[in-house]
Amino acid sequence: MLHLLFTGGTISMQRDERAGGNVPAHGGATLVGFAPGLERVAPYRIEDWGRLPACHMGQETLWALRNRVAEVIATERPDGIVVTHGTDTIEETAYLLSRTVEPAVPVVVTGAMLTSGDAGWDGPRNLTDAARVAAAPAARGRGTLVVFAGEIFDGSQVAKMQATALHAFGAPHAAAVGSAGEGGVQFSAPVPARRPLAVPDGLRARVALVPMVIGDDGALLDLARPAHDGLVLVAFGSGNLPPGAVPAIHRWLEEGKPVVLATRCPFGAVTPIYAFEGGGATLVRAGVIPAGARTVAQARMELVIALSAGASYGAES
């Protein structure tokens, strides 16, 4: 038995001329009706959890969704769970589920880039492919996965890489772990060794995300500090930033607020090898934590989870 948990997103939308754009419209039963053949994949139950655009998913909502997924696993013991979701913040949701939900039961997140009123709507294919993966014996133990445009990604590695293309998702620090379609489900990577889960009782931590700009003097860093518990810096290159911002970073550290160093580059990780003022090596010696093999959004979610759980930021990939 699969549990299909519908949360909204573009996959649930259609164009409303009065509103002047796409708005939520379809519930789970309607979406399943648009996906002929899904009933041949596995028996399923439908839950209409919400019809939310991805950008409406705040930390409290995300934690409620995480708790619902965990509850379904504990009480219903499904073979797998499919979560439909808006694509803009799949990255955060998939990372959260990957880091806080036991991996035995596959949780497969999917969505769509087009609405039901668009030619070539990708929603039915993605929903059916996600169900195929959730039902596949080879998916067990892999935890959270994202299925999109026939590709399978590890939930802790996936990122939205293109704003409008059907093939919107990738894994900038890894690769797809498999494929799905009418021909079946194939995994190209072994079941990963999982790090210990970090499970807080809520996502209370407030973490600022501040991009560096040329000539940065740290003014935004100082403005953000009183209202936040931690900081993710979006630095240049391999983790370098303007020297004018360094004193403000030290003020975060002096208050005991963790600072994580990420890069604005879409590929590659922070490599602290530069020892000039503002260089990554100098920042790390001062106590700044490299983000590891994470995107900026993943680095922020990891720090939110860690601070909320009273744990250390996990710098390993």
The predicted pLDDT at position 286 comes to 97
Predicted pLDDT of residue 37: 86
Q: Is residue 193 part of a domain?
A: no
Q: Cα dist. 129→87, 111, 147, 229 in Å? A: 16, 11, 7, 40
Q: What is the DSSP letter of 195?
A: P
CATH number of the domain to which 292 belongs: 3.40.50.40
Does residue 123 register a pLDDT over 50? Answer: yes
Tell me the C-alpha to C-alpha distance, in Å, between residue 261 and each of 65, 142, 220, 239, 309: 28, 28, 16, 7, 20
Same domain (yes/no): 173, 289: no
* 194 in any annotated domain: no
- Flag whether 192 is in a domain: no
Asked whether residue 89 is assigned to any structural domain, the reply reads yes
- How many whole angstroms separate alpha carbon 283 and alpha carbon 239? 9
Residue 250 within any structural domain of the chain: yes
Residues annotated as part of the active site? 10
Helix or strand holding residue 222 (H, E): helix 219-224
Backbone angles phi, psi at 40, to 5 degrees: -85, -10
> Measured between alpha carbons, how far is residue 207 from residues 70, 108, 157, 303 in Å?
24, 27, 20, 7
Residues paired with residue 4 on neighbouring β-strands, in sequence order: 46, 82
Mean pLDDT of the chain: 95
Q: What share of the chain is helix, strand, coil (3-state, %, to 5)?
A: 35, 25, 45
> Does residue 6 sit in the same domain as residue 101?
yes
* 20 confidence band (pLDDT: 50, 70, 90): confident
Model pLDDT, residue 21: 86
> Can you name the residues that pair with 81 across neighbouring β-strands?
3, 107
Residue 315 counted as domain residue: no
Inform me whether the pLDDT recorded for 244 exceeds 50: yes
Contacts of residue 293, defined as CB under 8 A and 6 or more positions apart, other chains included, come to 157, 173, 174, 269, 317
Mean pLDDT of 279-296: 97
181-213 residue pLDDT tens: 999 999 999 999 877 888 999 999 999 999 999
The per-residue pLDDT for 267 is 94
| Encoded amino acid at 76, one letter | E
**Whether pLDDT at 15 is above 90:** no
Q: Are residues 46 and 148 in the same domain?
A: yes
For residues 250 and 285, membership in a common domain is answered with yes
Answer yes or no: is 57 within a domain.
yes
Cβ-Cβ contacts under 8 Å for 19 (sequence gap 6 or more):
none
Q: Mean of the pLDDT values across residues 271-293?
A: 97
Is 130 in the same domain as 247? no
What is the tens place of the pLDDT at every residue in 39-88?
999 999 999 999 999 999 999 999 999 999 999 999 999 999 999 999 99
Domain that holds residue 108: 2-187
The contacts of residue 142 (CB under 8 Å, 6+ apart) are 103, 106, 154, 177, 187, 191, 192
Residue 317 pLDDT class (50, 70, 90 cuts): very low
On whether residue 257 sits in a domain, the answer given is yes
Do 294 and 176 reside in the same domain of the chain? no
Q: What pTM did the predictor assign?
A: 0.96
pLDDT at 316: 47
Residues 226 and 103 in one domain: no
Number of domains in the chain: 2
Does residue 55 share a domain with residue 168?
A: yes
pLDDT at 75 (0 to 100): 97
How far is 288 from 212, CA to CA, in rounded Å?
15
Same domain, 150 and 285: no
Nearest of 256, 210, 252 to residue 235 by alpha carbon: 210
Q: Which of 241, 230, 249 lies closest to 301 in space, CA to CA?
A: 230
Which of these, 67, 193, 49, 123, lies nearest to 131 by C-alpha position? 123
Q: Band of the pLDDT at 152, cuts 50, 70, 90?
A: very high
Provide the residue type at 30 as one letter.
T
Domain's final residue, options 187, 218, 248: 187
Return the pLDDT at 196. Answer: 82
Residues 295 and 161: their CA atoms lie apart, in Å, by 11
Q: State whether 149 and 221 are in the same domain.
A: no
- 138 shares its domain with 224: no
| Same domain membership, residue 230 and residue 111 | no
